[in-house]
């Protein structure tokens, strides 16, 4: 029996479920390549990445490279956020220059300056609901949802008391003006594909 197995059995016996234990379970499962895995409010969500999804993520990352070096950008990398068992794999995350990884080698939510989520049908409720709340509670200054089903981007800024005070909706094809945020950039959406 491995140390990991011992810890899982101890957690099961003590009813103490942690994100680390849940992710250890998931790492032992035969999950297909290209499947995004997140834990939102203690619930496990798995969704395969579609080409449309990837194109939007890649486009956002390319545009963020004018502002962030590659080492401060992440995609589908686990970051734990406030709330009950929230281990998110943000589609795009950008961290502050002062950021350092924690003792487990993960970015801290306190250092996240920007998050983008690209909507998938099966997990859209998470992005518009509990994840949006968790990002606001974590005081992520800029949260962008790109929704290829609506053909719109939703920009949320100014987190306060667990909510975003400002919201802007822009149709694909128009620019998302983030020049008034610390990002100081305009996101072009003219090449964002629709589903």
pLDDT over 60 at 14, yes or no: no
pLDDT value of residue 8: 38
Largest Cα–Cα distance in the chain? 56
Q: How confident is the model at residue 15 (pLDDT cuts 50, 70, 90)?
A: low
* Averaged pLDDT for residues 111-120: 97
pLDDT over 50 at 1, yes or no: no
DSSP line for 64-81? HTTTS-GGGEESSEEEEE
pLDDT in tens, 69-109: 999 999 999 999 999 999 999 999 999 998 989 999 999 99
Give ∠ CA 67-68-70 in degrees, rounded to 5.
140
* Averaged pLDDT for residues 120-148: 96
pLDDT over 50 at 67, yes or no: yes
Average pLDDT for the chain: 90
pLDDT over 60 at 165, yes or no: yes
pTM: 0.85
* Averaged pLDDT for residues 22-48: 85
Name the burial class of residue 3, with classes exposed (0-12), middle (13-18) and buried (19+) by CB atoms within 10 angstroms of its CB: exposed
183 or 29, greater pLDDT: 183
Q: What is the per-residue burial (b if ≥16 Cβ within 10 Å, else e) of 35-73?
A: ebbbbbeeeebebebbebbeebbebbbebbeebbeeebb
pLDDT over 80 at 139, yes or no: yes
Nearest of 65, 53, 59 to residue 89 by alpha carbon: 53
pLDDT value of residue 2: 41
The pair of structure tokens assigned to 100 is 């350092």
Alpha-carbon distance of 113 to 26, in angstroms, equals: 28
The β-bridge relationship of strands 142-147 and 112-118 is parallel
């Amino acid at each position: 029996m491995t140390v990991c197995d011992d810890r899982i059995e101890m957690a099961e016996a003590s009813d103490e479920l942690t994100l680390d234990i849940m992710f250890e379970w998931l790492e032992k499962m035969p999950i297909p390549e290209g499947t995004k895995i997140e834990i939102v409010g203690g619930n496990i969500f798995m969704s395969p990445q579609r080409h449309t999804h990837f194109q939007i993520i890649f486009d956002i990352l390319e545009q963020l490279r004018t502002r962030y070096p590659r080492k401060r950008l992440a995609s589908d990398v686990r970051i734990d956020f406030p709330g009950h068992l929230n281990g998110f794999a943000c589609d795009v995350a950008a961290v502050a220059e002062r950021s350092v990884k924690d003792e487990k080698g993960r970015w801290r939510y306190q250092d996240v300056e920007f998050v983008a989520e690209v909507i998938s049908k099966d997990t859209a409720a998470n992005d518009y609901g509990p994840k949006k709340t968790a990002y606001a509670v974590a005081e992520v200054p800029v949260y962008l949802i790109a929704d290829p089903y609506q053909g719109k981007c939703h920009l949320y800024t100014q987190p306060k008391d667990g909510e975003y005070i400002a919201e802007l909706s822009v149709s694909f094809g128009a620019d998302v003006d983030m020049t008034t945020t610390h990002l100081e950039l305009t996101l072009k959406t003219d090449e964002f594909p629709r589903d």
